[in-house]
């Protein structure tokens, strides 16, 4: 069965610092991988997705993620965070017509 693990429930970083949010997945075939962001009081917005090809994918708001098949990981990165990046981040895996499986989310706090 598919599963997604986000090991960090809550991460705090200083504004301007780099960020890496971890995501590990379990899936029997080639996965489609997604990162979503949820700002307070809002729905989930798609940041980026990986289908195939280049394992480093670029998304909106300056985020990128790297697919590492050998590690079953799809970690989200940003070189320099802004206070507006404070939000909850969800990793998800899916394929075809199957339902997406979401991780539990990582809450990001930004220190000024």
Partner 1 sequence: DAGITQSPRHKVTETGTPVTLRCHQTENHRYMYWYRQDPGHGLRLIHYSYGVKDTDKGEVSDGYSVSRSKTEDFLLTLESATSSQTSVYFCASGTGNYGYTFGSGTRLTVV
Length of the chain: 112
Name which of 50 and 81 has its Cβ closer to partner 1: 50
Shortest reach from residue 71's CB to partner 1, in Å: 22
Q: What b/e sequence results for 78-97 when a residue is b if at least 16 CB atoms lie within 10 Å of its CB, and e otherwise?
A: beebeeebbbbbbbbbbbee
Residues that bind partner 1 (CB under 8 A): 32, 34, 36, 41-46, 49, 51, 90, 92, 94-100, 102-105
Shortest reach from residue 16's CB to partner 1, in Å: 29
Shortest reach from residue 38's CB to partner 1, in Å: 8
Name which of 99 and 112 has its Cβ closer to partner 1: 99
Q: Are 19 and 86 in contact (CB under 8 A)?
A: no
Backbone angles phi, psi at 61, to 5 degrees: 60, 25
């Amino acid at each position: 069965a598919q599963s997604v693990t986000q090991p960090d429930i809550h991460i705090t970083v200083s504004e301007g610092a780099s960020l890496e949010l971890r995501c590990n997945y379990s899936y029997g075939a080639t996965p489609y991988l997604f990162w979503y962001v949820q700002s307070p009081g809002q729905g989930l917005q798609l940041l980026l997705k990986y289908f195939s090809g280049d394992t480093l994918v670029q998304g909106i708001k300056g985020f990128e993620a790297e697919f590492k098949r050998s590690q079953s990981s799809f970690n989200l990165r940003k070189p320099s965070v802004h206070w507006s990046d404070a939000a909850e981040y969800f990793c998800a895996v899916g394929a075809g017509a199957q339902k997406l499986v979401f991780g539990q989310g990582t809450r990001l706090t930004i220190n000024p």
